Amino acid sequence: MKCFKYHEKNKVSCEKKSCRYWVKHKSCQNCCLLIMNDKKNEKITLQDIGDIFNVTRMRICQIEKSAIQKLKNKLLTK
């Protein structure tokens, strides 16, 4: 997390493409953690997420539904 904190504090883009949190999106300094941590992005849309990860809005919707279903299944099995 040192990398994340550094980029958040200094407002510089990350160039470490091997990082698991790196995305090609300059407005968030190439870090998906900074996207979610940024208070002005409170209303991020499925289209915005699709643009960041270079997939369609519909694909993001499918992933979201699948994740919600998996969480429900986990809660019901406990």
Per-residue model confidence as pLDDT tens digits over 15-52: 777 776 767 666 666 677 667 666 555 677 888 888 87
SS (H, E, C) 4-62: HHHHHHHCCCCCCCCCCCECCCHHHCCEHHHHHHCHHHCCCCHHHHHHHHCCCHHHHHH
Exposed/middle/buried for 4, CB within 10 Å: 0-12, 13-18, 19+?
Answer: middle
What is the reported pTM?
0.60
Task: Say which residue, 22 or 54, is predicted with more confidence.
Answer: 54
Residue 10 reports pLDDT greater than 60? yes
Backbone angles phi, psi at 54, to 5 degrees: 60, 45
